[in-house]
Copies of this chain bind each other. A is one copy, B any other.
C-alpha cells in the first residue's frame, strides 16, 4: 500500500524543514540597483516608504472614490490600499445592498421615489474634537445626488445616508465644525430650492444656491435632519467650504464660481458654460456666521421647505449672517489656517493664491465697511480690505493644506502640474515640485486641522497618462507621495488608484483609529443593535407561516446550519444568519446559486437575505469566504419543490457505508493528529505567547476548536458504544475536522511567535 497515514509525519516535517529565519538572497544591494536601474534617490525613496511584513503604516488616509461611490482607505507611507468602503454603490464583498440590513441604509438615499445605485463621492471629513481629528466617524458627500453619508470608524461601515431636502446637486461637503456640531453641504449648480420647476429664463429670479448645516449627534452617530438648517444663497454655484477654527470659530467660508450667473447653450449658438462662467476676474467668497444662523433658525425665523428650515436670503442679510468678498476667478479650495487667522483661496484661472485676513474681515463687518451689495442685497467687503497678501505660486492653483511648521502651506497647481510649498504669512514661495499630471486636491497629515502633523504630502492627480503599465483607454488616477520633512520636497512614490476617481482625502495618525475586530454576537451592524434574529448554536430552526418560510441559521468553521432547506415553489424565503465566530478575520459568506442571494458575515454579525423561490430545482448554497481547509465543504442545498410534486421513494445514502474498521482507522488518525497538536501546543506554551496579542488570540481560538473536537469525540464514542459504526465514523471525522482547525491555528500562532522573536515562557 503506497498510501500512508496522514498528518503523522507532521512533527518530523516541521523539525526538519522549518527555517530558522528569513532567507538571504545571493544578489547584493548594488547588483539589484544596477539590474533595476535605481538611483541612490530611488533607493532612499524606497526605504522611506517600504513597510516590512507585519509592519504598520504611520497614517491612514480616507479618500473619496469619485464615481465609484466608495471611500478608499490607504496607508501612508506605503501607499497600500487597505479597503474600499461601500457608501452609495451596492458592493457584494461587503454585502452592501445585498443583505436586508444594508439595503435599509441605501434606501435612506432614495430620491423622488427612485433607487440611486451609485454616487459621486468627493470630500471626506473625519470627525473632530477641539479642531483635530478624533477618528470616530467619517462623512462623505455625493455630488451627483445631493446626499451625505456617515461611516462609523468603529467598523468602517456606512450607517446613514441623508438626502438634501432643498438642493438638486451639491459639491462643497462634507466638512465639519471644530467639535463636529455640524457637517456642511453647499449646493453646486443652482436650481429652484426644494425641487420646483422653473424655466432658465427665470434663472436670476428663481434659481438659488445655498449651504446646509447638518446637525450631528455624536452619541447616536447620526445626522439629525430635524435639527439641521440651510441658508438660501444667490445662484453663484457655491463650491467648497471650510469651517473657521480657533480665531474664526463660529464662522464658515464657502467659495463660488460662475457668479456671472451665465447659462450656456452651445446647441443654440451661445458660448458654452465654460466661457461664460469664467468671463469675470473674480467670484465671491461667502462668509457665514453659522453659530448665529443656528440661533436664528432655532428662533423660528426660518422658512420650511420640504419640512426643512431654510433661512431665506432677506433674513440672512437682516440678521447679519452672510457677507461676500471677491475672490480669484473659478476657485476651488477655501482653506482656513490652523490658527484660524487666515483664509487661503486659489482660483484655478488666476496665477496668484490669495490670503485673506480674518481680522480684517471681522473689522470690516464690525465697521460695516462694505463697498456695495450684490444683486440680492448681500453686503460685499472689498478684496483690498480683506486681503492679507497674494502670492504668484504658479498656474491653476486649486487647493491648500497646511504644514506642522507655522505659516507653511502647500498648494496644488493644476495647470502647471506642480505642488508649491510657500509661506502664507509672509507671502513667499519656498519650493515647487513637478507632479504627474494635473494635480487636483492635495493632502497633508491632519492638514486641515488645528494641528497639522507635517511629514508627508499627497498629490491627488487627475491623470496618469504614461505613469503605469497601460490598462486600456480608462486609466487609473495617480496619487503621489511627497516627503516634506526636508528642506526641499522630494517625490517618494506613485500610487495608481484602481477603481474610481478620488477628489479629496484626509489622513489621520494611525494610532487614533481604534476599529473593532468582532461584534457582540447577534449584532445588526448597520444599526449597532442586537438583531431580533440573533441565533445561538443549537437554536437554528426553519419555520413556515403560509407561504412564508423563515430560517434562523448559524455559520461557523466550516458548516452552515441548517444544511438542507426545503421549500415549495413560490414560497417567500427569509434567511437570518448569525456568524458564531469570535476569532479575528473569521468572516463567512453565504450564497445560493442562481438566486442572486449573497451576504457577508463578520464575527458576531447577524444579517438577513430574502428571496421568492420562484424557480423549482436544486440550488447549492455555500460559504463564499475561504474559512478553513474544509471551506469548499461548507455547503448545503436549497430544494425548491415544483408545484404539485409527488415525492419518489428513496433513501438518503446507504446507512452502513462505514464499518468498525473505518471507525478505528479514523480514531487512529485522530490520536496521531492529537500528538501533533500537543507538540505545537507545547511549543507555544513554552514561549511567552501571552505577550503577543495575535498569537494569544490564535491560541485561544485553537483551544475553542479543541473543545468542539472533544464534543465530537464524545458523540463518536457514544455511537461506537452502540455499535452504530457508520455514524460513529462520521462523527469521528468531524472530531478530526476540529483538530485540523486547531492545528492550523496553532501553526499560525507558532509562525507568528517565531517571526516575532518570542522568548521562553515566564
Contacts and interface: CB of A to CB of B under 8 A. Distances in A.
Say what secondary structure dominates the interface of chain A: loop
Interface residues of A, number: 275
A272 B559 contact: yes
Interface string A523-564: 000000000000000001010000000000000001101111
B471 A73 contact: yes
A234 interface: no
B267 A561 contact: yes
A125 interface: no
Interface stretch (A245-253, A313-321, A510-518): A510-518
Which of A155, A199, A258, A467: most chain B Cβ within 10 A?
A: A199
A584 interface: yes
30 contacts: A19-B431, A24-B41, A25-B483, A38-B47, A39-B52, A51-B494, A54-B466, A66-B625, A75-B469, A83-B499, A114-B596, A116-B594, A117-B596, A188-B632, A191-B618, A198-B648, A203-B653, A207-B618, A264-B563, A266-B559, A272-B561, A278-B630, A417-B751, A464-B585, A465-B585, A469-B510, A472-B515, A472-B602, A473-B515, A474-B600
Nearest to A76: B469
Given A45-B52, A472-B156, A598-B67, A737 B278 contact: yes
Contacts of A595: 114
Interface string A613-635: 01111111010111101101111
A676 to B, nearest CB: 9
Contacts of A90: 90, 117
A596 to B, nearest CB: 5
Which of A202, A329, A637, A727: most chain B Cβ within 10 A?
A: A637
Contact of A395 (B29, B636, B747): B747
B467 A202 contact: no
A2 interface: yes
A67 B46 contact: no
A710 interface: no
Contacts of A204: 653
Nearest to A461: B626
Question: Sorted from nearest, which 10 A-B pairs have the closest CB atoms?
Answer: A23-B488, A189-B620, A201-B650, A46-B50, A156-B472, A473-B602, A275-B734, A92-B118, A267-B562, A272-B559
B585 A475 contact: yes
A633 B274 contact: yes
A684 interface: no
A396 interface: yes
Contacts of A466: 54, 584, 693-694, 752
B112 A93 contact: no
A386 to B, nearest CB: 11
B498 A81 contact: yes
A290 to B, nearest CB: 24
A690 to B, nearest CB: 15
A438 interface: yes
A476 interface: yes
B22 A491 contact: yes
Interface in A44-70: 44-57, 60, 65-69
Contact of A516 (B57, B72, B472, B487): B472
A93 B641 CA distance: 41
Interface stretch (A10-18, A291-299, A403-411): A10-18
A149 to B, nearest CB: 15
A365 interface: no
Interface stretch (A177-185, A213-221, A343-351, A442-450): A343-351
A747 B630 contact: no
Nearest to A30: B47
A305 interface: no
Interface in A242-283: 257-258, 260-268, 270-279, 281-282
Which of A237, A390, A467, A635: most chain B Cβ within 10 A?
A: A635
B267 A540 contact: yes
Nearest to A503: B626
A624 B279 contact: no
A432 interface: yes
